[in-house]
């Protein structure tokens, strides 16, 4: 379970850095690397979103209660 949390945390950090670059420099690294509107770009965004939901669940949902 710790490995999933570490992977989710890494994906959320990557997503946060991407949004920082979009806000500051209007540079979307995910689109630049994987191509705008590509399937891989969409998969990356989905994984980042799922990672955020996983971390929220672990923190505040049933997973956080011990």
Tens digits of residue pLDDT in 4-17: 899 999 999 999 99
Instruction: Round to whole Å and give the CA distance between 38 and 16.
Output: 20
Residue spans of the domains in the chain: they are 7-60
The pTM assigned to this predicted structure is 0.83
For 22-37, the pLDDT digits (tens) are: 999 999 999 999 989 9
Instruction: Look at the chain and count its residues.
Output: 66
What one-character DSSP code corresponds to residue 61? S
Distance CA 50, CA 8 (A): 8
């Amino acid at each position: 379970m710790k490995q999933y949390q570490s992977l989710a945390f890494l994906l959320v950090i990557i997503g946060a850095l991407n949004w920082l670059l979009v806000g500051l420099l209007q540079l979307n690294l995910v689109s630049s690397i994987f191509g705008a509107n590509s399937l891989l770009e969409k998969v990356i965004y989905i994984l980042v979103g799922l990672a955020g939901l996983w971390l929220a669940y672990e923190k505040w949902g049933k997973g956080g209660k011990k």
